[in-house]
Structure 1
Amino acid sequence: MVGKLLLRGMLAGLISGVLVFAFAHTFGEPLVDQAIAFEEAASQAAGEAAEPEIVSRATQAGIGLFTGVMAYSVAIGGLFALVFAFVQGRFSSLSARGTSAVIAAAAFVAVVLVPNIKYPANPPAVGNPDTIGVRTELFFLMIVVSTAALVAAFALARRLAPQFGAWNGAIVAGLAYVAFIGLVEYLLPPINEVPENYSALVLWHFRTTSIGMHVILWCALGLVFGAFAERKLESKAGLRTHAPAYR
C-alpha cells in the first residue's frame, strides 16, 4: 500500500513540476537575466575581468532548469506520499483529499513561508560569496526549527482538544507556534547584503516569483495527490467490501 502511494506521490510531483517549470521559465528567468546584467555591469565598472561562462544561459534556463525542478518536485512528491501514509488513519480522520490539503498547507508554511520571512531568496548579484555557507546553514536551520515547531504545535492541539475542544486547541497551538517562531527569528542573526544601487523592483519580483513557484508546487501536489490517494483508498475499500467470505 505504501509503495503504491509512493508511486502516486512521485507522479503527482512530476505533474506539479511541469507546472512549476512553466511558471519559472516564463516569469523567473527574465528576472535572473536582469540580475546577471546588473552583476556584469558592476564588475565592468570595478574593472574586474568577466568570468567565463561554463554553462550557457540557454542551457541553464532550459534543460538545466527543467531537470532541477523535476528532480526536486518528484522527490518532494515521494516524501509527501510517505508523510500522508503515516498520518492518514493514525492522526487524521479527514478524507484523503482533506488530509492531503492539510499536509500541503502545513508543509508550505513550515518549509517555505516561515524560512523566507527571515531569509528570503536572492537573485544573482545579491549576497557576498564569502558568506554563502553561513547563509545556507541559517536557512536550513530555520527550516528544521519551523518544521519541528509545527509538529509540536499539532501535538499540542491534539492534547488540548479533549479539554478545550478541537477549535480552541488549534487556536492555542497556532498562537504558540507563531510566538515561538517570532522569538526564533528575532534571535537569529539578520542577513542584508543587497547592494545599495540594486533595483528594488527586480528584487521584489524575484522574491515573489520564488514564493509563487512554491505555491504552485504545494497546491498542485496537495490537490493532485489527494485525488490519486482518494481513488486508491476507495478502490481498496471496495475490494474489501466485495471480497467473498470463506468459512
Structure 2
Amino acid sequence: MIRTLLVRGLLLGLLAGLIAGAFAFAFGEPRVESAIALENAGADHALGGEAHEHGEEALVSRPVQRAGLFLATGLYGLAVGGVFALVYAALRGRVGPRSEGGLALAAAGTAFAAVILIPFLKYPANPPAVGDPDTINDRTLLYVVMIAVGLAATAIAVATARHVTAGPWARWSAAVAAFLVPVAAAWWLLPAVDEVPDGFPATLLWEFRLASLGTQLVFWTALGVLFGWASERAARRSAPMS
C-alpha cells in the first residue's frame, strides 16, 4: 500500500509541479524580466552608461532559465509529492478526515499554511535587484527557522485538538490558538528583513510576491485535488462489491 501511495505521490507531484510551472511562467516570468531590466538599468548607470546585459553575465542565459523553470518545478513536485505520500500514509486513519479526498485536501492545505504561507508572511520572496548578496545566508537561515516554526505549530495544534474533548468548537478553537501562539512568538522574536532599495516600484514588488505565492498555492491545490481524486478512485475500485 505504501509503495502504491509513494508512486502516486511521485507522479501526481510531478504533474502538480508542471501545472505550477505553467502558472509561474505566465505570471511570474514577466515580473522577473521587469526586475532584471531595472537591475541592468541600475548597473548601466553605475558603470557610466557601459553596456550591461543580465543574460551576458549570467552563467545561464534567460531563455535557458525560462525553459529550466519547468524542470525545476517538476523536480520540486516529484520530491514534495513523494514526501506528501509518506505523510499521507502516516496520517491515514489516525488524524484528519476519514475520506481519502478530504484527507488529501486537508493535508495539502495544512502543508501550504505551515511550510509556505507562514514563512512567506514573515520573509516574502524578492525579485532580482532586491536583497543584499552578503546577507543571503542569514536570510535563508531565518526562512528555514520560520518553516520549522510552522511545522512545530502544526504539530502542537494537532496534538491539542486530539486532547480536547469538550466539543467541536472548543477543539477547533484550542487548535487554532495552539497554532497561532508559537507563530506569533516567532514573528515577534525573529528580526525583520527589509532590503528593498529606494525607488524600487512597489507595484512590481507586490506583483512578483503575489505570483510567487500564487505558484505555491497552485501547486499545493493541484497536488491535494489530484491526490485526493486518485485516492478516492482507488478506494472505490478496491471496495467489495455488494
Identity %: 43
Moved more, 215-224 or 39-48: 39-48
Q: Which runs of 5+ in 2 are unaligned?
A: none
CA offsets per residue over residues 206-229 of structure 1, 9 Å max, x none? Answer: 000011001111111101001111
TM-score by length of 1: 0.91
1:60 maps to which of 61, 65, 81:
65
TM-score, normalised to structure 2, is 0.93
Please list, as runs of the form range in 1=range in 2, the aligned pairs for 1:144-159 lying within 5 A after superposition.
Answer: 144-159=148-163
Of 212-221 and 9-18, the range deviating more from structure 2: 9-18
Bigger Cα displacement from structure 2, 176-185 vs 116-125? 176-185
Q: Aligned AA for 1:30?
A: P
Residue 180 of structure 1 and its aligned partner are, at CA, apart by 2.2
Instruction: Classify 1:217/1:93 alpha carbon distance in 2 versus 1 (closer, same or farther; 3 Å).
Output: closer
Structure 1: tracts of 5 or more residues without a match: 243-247
Structure 2 distance, partners of 1:135, 1:141, is 10
SS in 1 for 2:200: coil
Q: Structure 2 CA distance, aligned partners of 1:209 and 1:93?
A: 31
**Aligned-partner Cα distance in 2 for 1:132–1:93:** 40
Q: Deviations over 1:220-243 (max 9, x none)?
A: 1101001111222333343xx78x
Out of 113, 118, 121, which is 2:122 matched to?
118
Aligned to 1:74: 78
* 2:200 matches 1:204: no
Q: Is the 8 A contact 2:149 2:182 kept in 1?
A: no
3-state SS, counterpart of residue 226 of structure 1:
helix
Question: Residue 88 of structure 2: which of 67, 84, 98 is its match?
Answer: 84
Task: Give the AA of the match of 2:223.
Answer: L
Report runs of 4+ in structure 1 exceeding 6 Å deviation.
Answer: none
**Cα deviation code 1:99-158 (max 9, x no counterpart):** 011101100100111101100000011000000000001001100111111111111011
Which one of the candidate residues 219, 222, 225 is aligned to 2:221? Answer: 219
Whether 1:191 and 2:179 are equivalent positions in the alignment is no
CA contact (8 A) 1:157 1:166 kept: no
Displacement after TM superposition at 1:93 (Å) = 4.7
**8 Å contact from structure 1 (residues 158, 166) kept in 2:** no
1:166 corresponds to = 168
The alpha carbon displacement at 1:21 in A equals 1.2
Aligned residues of 1:103 and 1:222 also touching (Cα < 8 A)? yes
1:129 counterpart (130, 133, 138):
133
User: In the comparison of the two structures, how many residue pairs are matched?
Assistant: 237
Q: CA RMSD in A?
A: 1.6
